[in-house]
Structure formats: C-alpha cells, structure tokens
C-alpha cells in the first residue's frame, strides 16, 4: 500500500497520478524479482498484480502458493502435503491406487518444464536438443487437455533434487514438445517449450522433501523505496 495524496490536485488528477505510481511500483517490483530469481522469476512476476487504486492510495499484491513461499520463506517440508491435495484448473487430477496393499492411496502426475539447457545436460549434448526439436508438437485442446505428439525416447541422465535424491527414471523420459516451441528451443535462456512428468505419491517420501528457502521480502524494499521509485518515474 502506498499513500498517493497530493495537495492541490482534484480527486480525478490524484487518481490518475496514483495509477502512474502503481505502474512504476509494479515495474520496480518485477525488476527486483528478475534480478534475484532465475527459473521462478517468470512465475513470481506474473503473481504481482495491481489490486486497487484510489485518489489516495494504491494496493499491489502478490498471490500464488509458490510466489508467496519465495517471498515469505519456507522451512524444510514434505511437498506431498499440498501436491496431493491441490486442486487447480487444468491440473492433472489426483488419482487413487486401485488395487494392492496401497489401494486407495493418492497419486498424481506433476508436469516439469525442460529448457534446451536441461535437454543438452541430461541428454548428453547438442544431439539431444536436435532430437527434441524434431518431436511433433503436443497441442492444447479446448477442454484444457493436451493432445500429445511424439515423445522423446532416448536415454537420459537421472534428475537429482537439491537434497541429492535421484529420480527413478531419466530426466527426459517421456518428454514432449509443446505447441509453438521449435523456433525458440535452441536459444539459451529462452522460455521453456518442453515438458516431462513425475509421479508424486505416498512412495519415496525422500524424493519430495523440500529443503526450504530464505524469504526474499522484496515487497519491503519496494515500500521503503516507493517515493524514490515514483520520483525516478517522473510521477
């Protein structure tokens, strides 16, 4: 929240100025996130939204489970406590084991994006990237589901999480190319255009232990520097 009262201006003029201040603050917050984060930067920046503008103040919020964990910090925890409960539009459904000693226990498939750098690293070189680019694309249907194209079928190295736990299958196993991805796949640092899936379930709890991370608290810096940000933006 930022006080935008300006003596001598009518309410309409103050509100117009408040909008300009809000845009400057949003831009500054997103710039800070871009400087501090890497792969999660895009997700975090999209979560910064302008909620309210009046002649006297603006309210900018950060929403979403992952952006809030990044901002406020989180202790080490078991990710399955929310991955096996979360319900989001177009997310993979939570399923139940149908038979055996684990009958009734939940599981689901979680999508992981893979960049050209990931493919080169896990696949063993530039040849893996070329093969990935040659995959027929998977396209989104009107119901939000994917119509799968061809899948990557070469061997790949196993994924290791931050705790050093090794994935059961190769990091690129079953990978698909998403629609529109071929033109950017070779550009290092470009947006991800490939996806793989991992199964999260009641098995292998060590594979879903999150090490936690320190709070960014970027919003405090934006509040502290709000007057300078507005001045630098000429508003």
Q: What is the CA radius of gyration of the chain?
A: 22
Summarize the confidence of residues 64-86 as an average pLDDT: 90
Please write the tens of the pLDDT for every residue from 156-168: 999 988 778 999 9
110 and 203 fall within a common domain: yes
55 and 39 fall within a common domain: yes
58 and 117 fall within a common domain: no
Mean pLDDT of the chain: 87
Summarize the confidence of residues 30-53 as an average pLDDT: 93
Is 192 a residue whose pLDDT tops 90? no
200 and 117 fall within a common domain: yes
123 and 9 fall within a common domain: no
64 and 8 fall within a common domain: yes
91 and 204 fall within a common domain: yes
Model pLDDT, residue 90: 66
60 and 174 fall within a common domain: no
Summarize the confidence of residues 175-180 as an average pLDDT: 84
Is 184 a residue whose pLDDT tops 80? no
Model pLDDT, residue 187: 42
Please write the tens of the pLDDT for every residue from 77-120: 999 988 898 666 667 889 999 999 999 999 999 988 898 999 99
Q: How confident is the model at residue 144 (pLDDT cuts 50, 70, 90)?
A: low
87 and 188 fall within a common domain: yes
Q: How many domains does the chain have?
A: 2
Longest distance between any two alpha carbons in the chain, whole Å: 75
Model pLDDT, residue 9: 66
Distance from chain centroid for Cα 169: 23
- Cβ-defined contacts of 42-47 (< 8 Å, 24+): 42/191, 43/67, 44/70, 44/71
91 and 172 fall within a common domain: yes
Model pLDDT, residue 191: 52
Read off the tokens for 38: 């890497």
Out of 66-80, 105-119, 138-152, 212-226, pick the least confident. 138-152
Model pLDDT, residue 66: 86
Whole-model pTM: value is: 0.66
Q: Are strands 166-170 and 77-78 parallel, antiparallel or unpaired?
A: unpaired
Domain housing 51: 2-74+213-232
- Tell me the C-alpha distance between 199 and 94, whole Å: 11
60 and 22 fall within a common domain: yes
Residues 6+ apart with CB under 8 A from 180: 137, 193
Model pLDDT, residue 96: 95
30 and 116 fall within a common domain: no
């Amino acid at each position: 929240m930022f006080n935008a009262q300006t003596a001598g201006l009518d309410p309409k003029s103050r509100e117009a100025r408040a909008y300009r201040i809000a845009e400057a603050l949003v831009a500054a917050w997103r710039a800070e996130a871009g400087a501090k984060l890497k792969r999660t930067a895009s997700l975090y920046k999209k979560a910064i939204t302008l909620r309210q503008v009046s002649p006297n103040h603006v309210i900018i919020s950060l929403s979403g489970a992952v952006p809030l964990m990044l901002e406020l910090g989180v202790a080490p925890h078991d990710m399955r406590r929310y991955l096996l409960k979360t319900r989001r539009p177009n997310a993979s459904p939570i399923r139940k084991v149908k038979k055996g000693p684990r009958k009734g226990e939940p599981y689901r498939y979680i999508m992981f994006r893979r960049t050209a750098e990931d493919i080169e690293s896990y696949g063993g070189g530039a040849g893996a990237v070329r093969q990935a680019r040659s995959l027929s694309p998977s396209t989104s249907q009107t119901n939000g589901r994917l119509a799968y194209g061809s899948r990557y079928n070469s061997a790949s190295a196993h994924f290791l999480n931050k705790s050093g736990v090794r994935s059961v299958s190769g990091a690129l196993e079953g990978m698909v190319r998403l629609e529109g991805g071929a033109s950017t796949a070779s550009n290092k640092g470009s947006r991800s255009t490939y996806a793989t899936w991992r199964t999260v379930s009641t098995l292998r709890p060590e594979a879903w232990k999150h090490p936690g991370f320190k709070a960014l608290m970027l919003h405090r810096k934006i509040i502290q520097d709000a007057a300078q940000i507005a001045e630098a933006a000429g508003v």
